[in-house]
Each structure stands twice: as structure tokens, then as C-alpha cells.
A and B are shown apart, each in its own frame.
Chain A
């Protein structure tokens, strides 16, 4: 039994290898993505361009985050890949201006193209297709609010008001956690920018200001008074990204700050267990903003088929195809025309539709600092420093002043190291 399956898989492998090598003579490129939503577009492209071969490879997030940069540094890797560290990999991107309609890309994706240019890129280059963005945001358990008899804070409510309300609700309903936030520098940056933090200046150097200090102080206070549990930011170390969205799904958290990608999971798992809602961006002293995020499909300089890469990205960027991609992945579009016209998501519940439109409503409200930060080449360095140092403050390893000093040093060291 064990033997035959081994033989079988060996045979499958052998057939795969043969199929691979026989096609190698055709024009061939490889795309790396996190899911199979791209497949129909790949199929259409191959049908429209006989003699070309596009391989879609589904890989894990860890592969894109950790091994793609090393591969690129050694001139290896796929021809096109989904990238999430948009500005950090600029020096490897292929400029696709010769192959795509430049005006179309500029009007559709404008600001986001800038993120891809980072610090090493040509300020005019088009480095890829930023198909969708994600939006950070808070989810709230409406049912718990109703049971506690407390009114939901309205649009324009501050972070403190949300914290207080969540705490009161948790107390009244005997819920474990009033408030939780993914352990991610990106999520925290939403709050910090609302409090007035600039995070990065025009020269691309880190900014440590009062806004950041106030945000950290508030954040620490919440952990001290039990508004936020130590389980997440307090328990994990280093720069590891962790979430405890399970708590919200199981109604153990009143308010959860995560992002638009969590919506689908919420819809499929919560069912009618409780009512939830996506809330408008909580406000700080300075603005009511959340962070944009997301990925882009970029081609790389090392490809042997730059023209095919360009042609494929141009094809995928066409309105029909892009719409189809966004709809099947239930993502928020980046393209201006699609934000304006809205997108139909077939097979998606009313709750998710409503949530998505709330997220999309936040996009115009985003502060310029949020866009600047997202496009900064050292955004990751800053986010890692934020998570690491804040966790240290929570565990009494340092005070807020030292933490701010260390964050500054961490980012400057990273900038120095990348020279």
C-alpha cells in the first residue's frame, strides 16, 4: 500500500517533469500568488496569445515575506510575484512602461504606483499592477452592545471613547476582552497617525513626535487597566505578526482592530451567532485615519521574457479582467474607476457588502501621513521596531521614553545597513 502510493507519486512527478521540459521551448513565465483567483485570467491570456505559457504558482505568505527577497537578491525567483513589501524591493522591479498604457496606469493607480517606487526606484517608472488595497479597521460586536444597553459610538468617536465603551460593555456582559488589536506595526500605525504621528519626514528619515508618544502611552494604559489583554502584544516577542481574531469570532472580544481581509472569515464563521459591524475609523487628536495596505503584482528585472511580463500585466489590468479578479477575491479595488463605480461581489452576503463599503468609505479620509508611511522604503523597519519596543514596554523592560529612543535608533540603523 505504502509502496504503491510512493510509486504513483513518483510517476506523477516524472510526468510533471516531462511536461515541464517539453514546454520550456515556448515563451514561458511564472507568476507567484497566494491563491488561485488569478487562474481564469491566466487561462484567457494563454488562449489569446498562443505559444505562450504562464504558470501560476500558489505559495505561502511566509515564502513571499521571507524567501522572495533573498531569491531576488541572488537573481532568482519567479517572473512576476505578489509583493507586500512594496517599497522595499524596488531595485528588483521591472519597469513595464514600454509594454503598458502609461496614461491608463497613472490615472487608475496614481498614488499607489508611488509606493512601488520606494527609495531606489525611478520616480516615473511603472513597477507593477497594484490590483487591490486592504484597509485597516475596527470590528464591533453589536449584539454585546445591545445586551449591555450601551449605545454604539457614532462616526467621529475617538479611540478613547471606543476604549471606554468597549470596557463598559465587556463589564456588563461578562465578556473576556474589551478591545484587541492584531500584533502588527501596521495596525498600530493607524492609531498613531490619528494621534498626529508623522512617522516619516520628507527626507525619508524616521520621526519620533508627540503624536507617537501619546498613542503609545494610551496603548500601554489600556494594557494596564485591562481594556486590552496581555495575550497578544504582551505575550509574543520579536517582530512576529500574530492575531487573535478567533476571540472576536467567538464573541470573546467586544472591539477588534484588524482589517478588511478578515471580513470574509467573519462572515463565514459567525453566521447568526451575533451581529457585527465594521466601524468608521476611530479618531485621535489629529485625524480619523486608518492605514491602507495591500499588495501588487510586480515583474522582476531578472526575467528572460520582459515583454511577456509586461503584456501579461497589461492584460490583467484591463477593466474586465481586473474587475473579475477583485470580485472573486472579495478585495477592495485600487483602480480609481472601480472605486467610483463600485464593484459587484457575486455570492457575497449583505453584511459583507456593507462592511466593504464602510471600508471603502475610509479611503478618502486617510491622512497624507498614512500614504507617506505606506510608501516609505523603511516602513517594515519602523513597524518591526514598533511591535518589538511596545511589547518590551508592556513587559516593563523599558519606559516609553527609552522605547521612543530605541525605535529611532532601530530605524536609523536599518537605513544605515541598507546603504
Chain B
């Protein structure tokens, strides 16, 4: 497929994707690259997209097999003499023609139907194999309404709690980690290697494994059912210190010396010079902190037991209980918890990826 051919005949998308700057021919390597990337887009996005679509399906539509591509619902009509609206079916008549009928009741393989145009004509018993439901596109916004109702207005509280934990914990993490990274990158002092190793070594302690002792400590300090009980145990992130230290190492020491000449205190050097220069690395640490805090599950589960302090993730888990999974609510909730991050990401993705790239882990 050469450039000219695709421009004259190819569909728009293909033309867009194969277009090259300066009209250079696409090499086979480029094609493999694009093929791989498009496959990646398919595998990466499709599952999330599918959950999004599914969250707009009503329960009956969700349990259908094979699954329908779009959310649909049964078409129903009011028929004289029947209290509730009846679902419509297309029934193959004996002569092979197709007629639309309303179903009154279905028992196994037989269904009782009535002609919606002429209900007086009486009921007919029909083999369900000959009837196919009439369906229309329908977004089950009800799932979301039910979700908001069943949470009893708690969902705003859940969002507030999640946001509070995320923002406060991220701020504390940034300050603490950058202070530690500053000390470890800009000073030569006895014990600095030990301190660095001590901090990095915590990377090897899986949080799940120290769950019970952590709870013991949190409860001894009296922070059970307090948002601070979730915020404090994980503020010192080893990766944060490591990334910031690596970045600060690249800041020239001459800048600091010059400031010292001007009688700046070490604290002023930290927050006036080093901190502003580390913004890209700080942004990366902030992004990781926001992600892990927003998505945190196990620690909030044991520390926060009262509904008024529950986070969104805890509310999400509430839809899987001893009576099984309530899929239609769960899917709606999944979409809702993932949406804020997705939007944040859409707007910030350039800065996030640029920031991570500029930290240049080495």
C-alpha cells in the first residue's frame, strides 16, 4: 500500500494512519510497528470499553449469551385488559409470514401471546422457538440511579473520603519524601548510605504481609475509623524517595553554593531552589501517590468500618457479598470509580508521561 494509493482509494482512517511526514514511503518496519500498536490498543482498551458499555445494560440483557454489542431492552406495549405493559415478539406464522405479538406469559417452551392490535381475538399458545423478541436500543441509566439510591446518598461522602485521603496523603508524601531525598542527595554525612538502604529496603515488605501488625499500631494510636489511620501508614514511599533523590543528584551543587554565599539557610535552599527545580520528579511521585491512594483497598477495609468514613473502593466491594455479585450495580460502580482517573489522565497524560520520561531513572 503506497502513499498515493491510500490517498486516492483508502478509507479515511487508513489514510490517516499511513500518512507520513514529507510523503516518505512506509517501510515494512513501520507497518509492523503500527500493526503492533493497533493490536495493543485493541487489547488494552477493549476490556475497559466493554465494562463501560455493559454498565448501561439492564440485568436481563447482562445475562444474555451471546452478549449483545449494544445495550438493548425488550420493546413493550400497553394492551387493553392487561395491567402491565407486555413484551413484543416477532412470531413466525404457519404460512411463514412474520407477525408481531405481545407475550402474556411464558412457561418453559410454550408462551401465551395476544395480538396487540386486536386483543379481543383471544390468546394463542406459541412455541417459543418461533418467537424472537423485538428489541430496541436502551441505555439503562437506571443502574446508576439505583446505585445512587442504594448508597443512600453516601456516595458523595465516599467520594469526599477518597478525595481527602488522596490529596492529603499525596501532599504529605511529597513533602516528606522530598525532604529525605534532599538530605540524601545534597549532603555527605555519616550514615547516609544506611539511611538510604533502610528506606529502599521497605520496598521488600509487602503491605499485605504486615497488615495485622499495622492494624495493631493504628488501633493503639487510636486512629481506627479515622481517615488519618489510612493516610499515615503509607506516607513514606521508598520509590518516591528513590526517584526524587536520583533527580536531585542532577541539580548542580554550584547553585546551592551560590545561595549559601548569599546567606540563604539550608531550609531556604531546599524550598526555594531544589524543590522548584525538581518539579518534574515531584509530578511523577504525585501521580503514583494519587493512583495508589485512590485505588487502595485492604488497609481502608480493616481501618475504616463506619459507613461515613468508607472510601469509593470499599463501596465498590460492597456489591460482592455472601449472596453473590450484583453485576449491574458493580459495573456501574466500576465505571464511576475509574472515570475520575480516566478524565484526569486524558487531560494530564502529556505532563505525566513527559514528567516520568524526564526523571530519567538511572
Q: Do A's and B's CB atoms come within 8 Å in the complex?
A: yes
CB–CB B301/A66 < 8 A: yes
A9 near B105 (CB under 8 angstroms)?
no
A74 to B273, CA, bound (A): 46
Among B159, B212, B308, B322, the one with the most A-chain Cβ atoms within 10 Å of its Cβ is: B322
Chain A 232-257: CB-based contact to B (< 8 A → 1; otherwise 0): 00000000011111100110000000
**Complex CA distance for A67 and B298, rounded to whole angstroms:** 10
Q: How far is the CA of A61 from the CA of B107 in the complex (A)?
A: 35
Return chain A residues, CB-CB under 8 Å to B317: 60, 62
Is A21 interfacial (CB-CB < 8 Å)?
A: no
Q: Tell me if A224 is interfacial: C-beta within 8 Å of chain B.
A: no
Residues of B within 8 A of A49 (CB): none
Chain A residues with CB under 8 Å of B159's CB are 9
CB B275 to nearest CB in A, in angstroms, measures 27
- Check if B105 sits within 8 Å of A10, measured CB to CB: no
Q: Which residues of B contact A150 (CB under 8 A)?
A: none
Q: How far is the CB of A250 from chain B (nearest CB, A)?
A: 5
Measured CA separation A186–B324 after assembly (Å): 15
Number of interface residues of A (CB under 8 A): 46
Pair B301/A67 contact, Cβ less than 8 Å: yes
Shortest Cβ distance from residue A232 to the other chain B in the assembled complex, whole angstroms: 11
One of A8, A74, A77, A261 near B323 (C-beta < 8 A) = A261
Q: Tell whether, in the assembled complex, residue A275 and residue B107 are in contact, meaning their CB atoms are under 8 Å apart.
A: yes
Q: Is the CB of B108 within 8 A of A143?
A: yes
Identify A76's interface contact among B105, B107, B224, CB under 8 A.
B224
Q: Which of A70-85 contact B (CB under 8 A)?
A: 70-71, 74-78
The distance in angstroms between the C-alpha atoms of A272 and B106, with both chains bound, is: 6
Q: A147 in the interface, Cβ–Cβ < 8 Å?
A: yes
**B residues 158-175 with Cβ under 8 Å of A?**
159-160, 163
Q: Which residues of A contact B160 (CB under 8 A)?
A: 6, 9-10, 12-13
Q: How far is the CA of A71 from the CA of B301 in the complex (A)?
A: 11
A395, CB-defined interface residue at 8 Å:
no
Are A243 and B108 touching (Cβ within 8 A)?
no
**For the complex, would chain A's binding face be called helix, strand, loop or mixed by DSSP majority?**
helix
Q: Tell whether, in the assembled complex, residue A67 and residue B305 are in contact, meaning their CB atoms are under 8 Å apart.
A: yes
C-alpha spacing A61/B157, complex, angstroms: 20
Q: How far is the CB of B74 from chain A (nearest CB, A)?
A: 12
Min distance, Cβ A21 to any Cβ of chain B, angstroms: 13
Docked CA distance A273–B105 (Å): 8
Most B CB within 10 A of own CB, among A5, A12, A262, A272: A272
- Asked if A58 CB lies within 8 Å of chain B CBs, one says yes
Contact of B59 among A13, A75, A269 (CB under 8 A): A269
Closest to B318 in A: A60
* CA A74 to CA B224, docked complex, whole Å: 10
Cβ of A397 within 8 Å of any chain B Cβ, yes or no, is no
Q: Are A57 and B307 in contact (CB under 8 A)?
A: yes
Interface size class of B (residues with CB under 8 A): 20 to 34
Residues A61 and B321 in contact, CB atoms below 8 Å apart: yes
Q: Contacts of B106 on A, CB cut-off 8 Å?
A: 272-273
B63 near A250 (CB under 8 angstroms)? yes
B318 touches A5 (CB 8 A): no
Q: How far is the CA of A59 from the CA of B321 in the complex (A)?
A: 11
Evaluate contact between B63 and A272: CB separation under 8 angstroms. Answer: no
Asked if A274 is at the interface (CB within 8 A of a chain B CB), the reply is yes
Interface status of B215 (Cβ within 8 A of chain A): yes
Query: Are A146 and B323 touching (Cβ within 8 A)?
Result: no
Q: Tell me if B349 is interfacial: C-beta within 8 Å of chain A.
A: no
Q: Confirm or deny: B156 has a beta carbon within 8 angstroms of a beta carbon on chain A.
A: yes
**Of B157, B216, B324, which one neighbours A243 at CB under 8 angstroms?**
B324
Contact flags B293-305 to A (C-beta < 8 A → 1, else 0): 0000000011001
Interface residues of A in 131-150 (CB under 8 A from B): 143-144, 146-147
User: Is B202 an interface position by the 8 A CB rule?
Assistant: no
* Residues A61 and B322 in contact in the complex (CB < 8 Å), given A9-B157, A9-B159: yes
Within residues 95 to 135 of chain A, which ones have a CB less than 8 A from any CB in chain B? none
> Whole-angstrom distance between the alpha carbons of A242 and B322 in the complex?
8
CB <8 Å contact, A77 and B156 = no
CB contacts (< 8 Å) of B314 on chain A: these are 60
A144 touches B305 (CB 8 A): no
Q: Could you tell me the distance between the alpha carbons of A62 and B212 in the complex, rounded to whole angstroms? A: 17
Question: CB distance B322 to A70 under 8 Å?
Answer: no
Smallest Cβ-Cβ distance to B320: which chain A residue: A62
A272 B156 Cβ-Cβ under 8 A: no
Quick check: is B109 within 8 A (CB to CB) of the other chain? yes
Given contacts A59-B307, A76-B224, contact A12 B157 (CB under 8 A): yes
CB distance from A220 to the nearest CB of B (A): 25
Q: Indicate whether B362 reaches chain A with its CB closer than 8 angstroms.
A: no
Interface check A63, CB cutoff 8 A: yes
A16 sits at the interface (CB 8 A): yes
Q: What 0/1 readout, one digit per residue, does chain B (315-356) give for beta carbons within 8 Å of chain A?
A: 001101111100000000000000000000000000000000
- From A184, which residue of chain B is reached at the shortest CB distance? B322
A209 to B248, CA, bound (A): 68
Residue pair A274, B324 in contact (C-beta under 8 Å): no
Expressed in whole angstroms, the Cα–Cα distance for A418 and B98 within the complex equals 70
With the chains together, A265 CA to B328 CA distance in Å?
14
Question: Which residue in chain B gives the minimum CB-CB distance to A71?
Answer: B305
Our pick among B163, B305, B320, B324 for the contact of A63 (Cβ within 8 Å) is B305
Residues of the B chain whose Cβ atoms lie less than 8 Å from the Cβ of A269: 59
Q: Which are the 10 A-B pairs with shortest beta-carbon distances?
A: A143-B108, A60-B318, A61-B321, A9-B156, A74-B219, A9-B160, A61-B322, A243-B324, A67-B302, A272-B105
Told that A59-B305, A62-B320, A74-B220 touch, could you supply 16 new A-B pairs with CB distance under 8 A? A12-B156, A12-B160, A16-B157, A62-B318, A62-B321, A67-B302, A70-B215, A74-B224, A76-B305, A77-B305, A143-B107, A147-B109, A245-B323, A269-B59, A272-B105, A275-B108
